[in-house]
A and B are shown apart, each in its own frame.
Chain A
Amino acid sequence: MADRGMRGSFTSFLREPIFHFVLAGSLLFGLVQLNTPPDPQAIRIDDRVISQLAARYQRQFGEAPPADRFRALIGRHIYEEALYRHGLALGLDRGDEIVRRRIVQKMEFLAGDEGDVGEPTPAQLRAWYQTHQDRYRQPEQISFRQIYFSPDKNGEAAALTRARNALQKVTAGVAVDAIQSDQFSEGEHFILVEPGQIERIFGSSALTQQVSSLPLNQWSGPLRSGLGWHLVRLEAKIADKPPALESISGRLRQDWREDRMAANQRDAIGRILKDFVVVRAGVAKSL
């Protein structure tokens, strides 16, 4: 009975808030004891500090600090540590916009760094590719031949007329080699070229805009480029279809991992936000 009473009062004591308070307090005290130097006025320069300073210097300058630089680094560390601690004691960190933003930045950074996201399985990679196909599409590519009629020879109108006459001839079956045309310095046969490349050669012109929608395997035109008149024969067209997964697996893996990291960061920040209650007062109620 008494035993039971003892046990009863002990368990009820375990439920007492005061016990929790004391327990939490002593735990905190212990942690603080472990983590802060015994004397808040003592600045300890031990091997840990030295290796931190060296590592920071190495990161920034790509080499270990030379001896003379080291003494300066330690001096700087002491100077900053003293001012930092004194400032904290004065409560300067509170209400300071710069400190506030730095801490927010740090939290964002930490949230984005929640462990490695691992490697995608083949199935995950495939699924990622399926849902983001647009991102990996390659531009349309076409192959075509052209015959050139230069306005430098007798002018614009004559070039157009020569091109029209030539179209009649090739359509009637005259061999291309038998056509009186002008030499085009950029070449006559264009193989697997993309819109950007076509525009670089022919300018922002009717030819550039229309070439990929011409009928296949027949001579069309005349079309004006930035250089003159052309007859064009479209020979092949590869729509801007997505490339094979294997050929871009490296990029897919990278993108998948980046996406995962971003998602983890969003989740981690979401968990923090969830624990807060927002109280709106005054004007804010209607905003």
Chain B
Amino acid sequence: MRRSYIIKAGPIITVFALLSACQTEVPHPQSTRAAEPPAPVSPAQRAALFGELHMHTAFSTDAVMLVGTTVTPDQAYRYARGETVTVLGQPIRLKRPLDFMAVTDHAEQIGVGYEMLDPRGRGAQTPFGARVRAGKPSMDDLRGIFLSKTVDPGVDSESIGRSTWKRVVDAAQSNYQPGRFTTFVGFEWSSTPTFQNLHRNVIFKSADVAYPYSAADSERPEDLWSYLEANRRRGIEAMAIPHNGNLSNGLMYDWKDSDGRRIDRAYALRRQENEPLNELAQTKGVSETHPSLSPEDGFADFAIFEGLFNGGISKASGSYLREALGRGLVLSEEVGANPYLTGFIGATDDHGGLFNTDEAAFRGGGRYSAAKPFTLEDARALLVDDKNGAPINELNTGSGGLTGVWAESNTREAIYAAMRRRETFATSGTRLKVRLFGGWNYDRALLNKQRRWDMAYAGGVPQGSNLPHRPTRAGAPRFLVWAQKDPDGANLDRVQIIKLSTIGGKMRERIFDVAFDRGRRIDSATGQLAAVGNTVNLTTARYTNSIGAAELASLWVDPEFDPAHPAVYYARVLEIPTPRWSTVVAIQHKLPAPKSVPAVIQERGWTSPIWYEPNG
């Protein structure tokens, strides 16, 4: 393929190629660039950008109370884009900077904890402020953050909130560097009725923003949508991204609306419009599926986190995205619109303001900041399978996920547009890349074509879309799937296509291994692909890329297609086994590896789905 990697498309490139032969006076591109109008970019030029859409800073009151962070949004953005920042007197720098980020502090009591950290601040003298500064919040304080009705911080939260919000927007504005690093303004709406998580992150398209809507305004997602819709009518565009369905106790992807009525067409259409994406992977678990929901999926038992904050266990049914895709099909047959027409993203939900998904540098999703020295005692405390007085069991947390978008340029416009059309993928923190296209006429030869992506876009749709109308004589849908390893990470084990369909109003789930390295075959007797193996050395925490593949691609045709019923497909890519962060911590500190969590994991990526709707 002759696709060139171009920073800014345009005629200057040609000029430059000519000039470059004679190494003498070369004009600096900066001076010529400005004069050139931007050339239209074909979708085939879209590149994968990696970002974080769920980051808390000291402006989140729980981040101050639980993690004790002092990192501001400005510092969080500067750190994410690779600048050295000084936190707690330590200069620190992110090894692998991000392409984009949204700081999403809790709207509830936004800025209040930070204000109380300052002994000069308003409210520093209140009992609430004293508890915040001591890092000893009560359970009521924590509840109060999300439901400000129940706690009185003793200060004018709204006035603090207004000035905090201005700082949030300013930080996003001053750190936006189109072409290099994109910032989004965001906040988290943290509705948690009786400890069941209904949280959504709101991400604004531009710097035209509205003051955050909080769970104190309403706990109902429908009311959050009304806020978004009212803003949209005023020209303020934003989307809500639900997260941690795994902790919703069945509420996040329910059959019913907030009033207990079965989802109708109007609800489905509003949810599609306001929630085009769902966060699938993050520190507090992966919400793809649960072993009890997907008994035939040999890889379903990954990063399961189901402990509610009050000690209960979240019910699996209604809490996971794969099942939601299936429910969406059932509901769309019923009411003519799919409420769960959603793409996937990954994020960290870090509460320290310092982005990290590196398994070798992760220290549990809680108290241990990258800026603080990590001692043997800390390691010992962290590896105990217990809450240790913290609100979550940190040993069960994962190193956090990442969002991949296929976008023409690193700008708010291009990235937000990719999010809107759901041309995204989620990863468990690794920077593998994955693409899925669906169409009716794709040809196997496409895989080796130089202009592969031009043809893929011309003959079908990318991840996140509905398949084009099925031509009369077409057979089953065809899918082009491609994945590439993280250049600094592990090889790929396999690519799978996961299919949900309906039979007689019931959901059906199927998993197909569609691409894997040349050395392996699917056993014709069992239909199973042999395991990839394991190179992890449990005394050194090292692995080698001697198994698996650097790149996998396949053209897959659905062998069980039924044109009469809707279906949905997404790709899942698995890496070869690598040590889990807890194994790395144990080995580094010469401690026994904890028994209750796996020593090795298979990091992975998930594309947004592609849907089939029967014609007519």
Seed contacts A187-B5, A192-B16; 15 additional CB < 8 Å A-B pairs: A60-B159, A98-B120, A150-B550, A151-B550, A152-B550, A184-B1, A187-B3, A188-B2, A196-B97, A203-B487, A204-B96, A225-B487, A226-B486, A243-B30, A244-B28
Chain A residues closer than 8 Å to B23, beta-carbon distance:
216, 236
Q: Beta-carbon contacts of B550-568 to A below 8 Å, as 1s and 0s?
A: 1100000000000000000
Interface presence of A221 (CB below 8 A): no
Supposing A185-B551, A187-B2, A243-B31 touch, asked if A201 and B484 sit within 8 A by C-beta, the answer is no
* Cross-interface CB contact of A193 among B5, B17, B163, B551, cutoff 8 Å: B5
Shortest distance in angstroms between A27's beta carbon and chain B's nearest beta carbon?
Answer: 35
Query: From residue 163 to 199 of chain A, which have CB atoms closer than 8 A to chain B?
Result: 183-194, 196-197, 199
Chain B residues closer than 8 Å to A185, beta-carbon distance:
1, 482, 484, 551
Shortest distance in angstroms between A227's beta carbon and chain B's nearest beta carbon?
Answer: 5
A205 close to B17 (CB less than 8 A): no
The tally of residues in A whose CB lies under 8 Å from a CB in B reads 49
Chain A residues closer than 8 Å to B29, beta-carbon distance:
141, 192, 238
A152 close to B1 (CB less than 8 A): no
B20 close to A236 (CB less than 8 A): yes
Supposing A101-B120, A191-B5 touch, asked if A152 and B549 sit within 8 A by C-beta, the answer is yes
Q: Beta-carbon contacts of B1-42 to A below 8 Å, as 1s and 0s?
A: 111111100000100110111010010111100100000000
* Cross-interface CB contact of A191 among B17, B21, B99, B517, cutoff 8 Å: B17
A183 close to B3 (CB less than 8 A): no
Shortest distance in angstroms between A212's beta carbon and chain B's nearest beta carbon?
Answer: 14
Interface presence of B473 (CB below 8 A): no
Interface presence of A131 (CB below 8 A): no
How far, in angstroms, from A60 to B28 measured CA to CA in the complex?
45
Chain A residues closer than 8 Å to B162, beta-carbon distance:
60-62
A201 close to B487 (CB less than 8 A): yes
Query: From residue 104 to 132 of chain B, which have CB atoms closer than 8 A to chain A?
Result: 119-120
B551 close to A150 (CB less than 8 A): yes
Shortest distance in angstroms between B30's beta carbon and chain A's nearest beta carbon?
Answer: 5
How far, in angstroms, from A185 to B450 measured CA to CA in the complex?
9
Classify chain B's interface size. 35 or more
B16 close to A236 (CB less than 8 A): yes
How far, in angstroms, from A193 to B450 measured CA to CA in the complex?
22
Closest to B160 in A: A60
Query: From residue 312 to 358 of chain B, which have CB atoms closer than 8 A to chain A?
Result: none
Closest to B26 in A: A238
A191 close to B486 (CB less than 8 A): no
B2 close to A189 (CB less than 8 A): yes
Chain A residues closer than 8 Å to B2, beta-carbon distance:
187-189
Q: Beta-carbon contacts of B510-552 to A below 8 Å, as 1s and 0s?
A: 0000000110000000000000000000000000011001110
B4 close to A205 (CB less than 8 A): no
Interface presence of A228 (CB below 8 A): yes
How far, in angstroms, from A111 to B441 measured CA to CA in the complex?
71
Q: 4 closest pairs, A vs B, by CB? A: A226-B487, A203-B487, A236-B20, A203-B488
B550 close to A191 (CB less than 8 A): no
Chain A residues closer than 8 Å to B99, beta-carbon distance:
200
Interface presence of A70 (CB below 8 A): no
Shortest distance in angstroms between A87's beta carbon and chain B's nearest beta carbon?
Answer: 15
B159 close to A196 (CB less than 8 A): no
Q: Beta-carbon contacts of B72-105 to A below 8 Å, as 1s and 0s?
A: 0000000000100000000000011101000000
Chain B residues closer than 8 Å to A141, beta-carbon distance:
29
Chain A residues closer than 8 Å to B478, beta-carbon distance:
none
How far, in angstroms, from A143 to B26 measured CA to CA in the complex?
13
Chain B residues closer than 8 Å to A226, beta-carbon distance:
485-489
B16 close to A143 (CB less than 8 A): yes
Interface centre among A98, A192, A197, A228 (most CB of B within 10 A): A192
Closest to B544 in A: A156
Chain B residues closer than 8 Å to A228, beta-carbon distance:
550
* Cross-interface CB contact of B13 among A98, A153, A187, A191, cutoff 8 Å: A191
Interface presence of A102 (CB below 8 A): yes
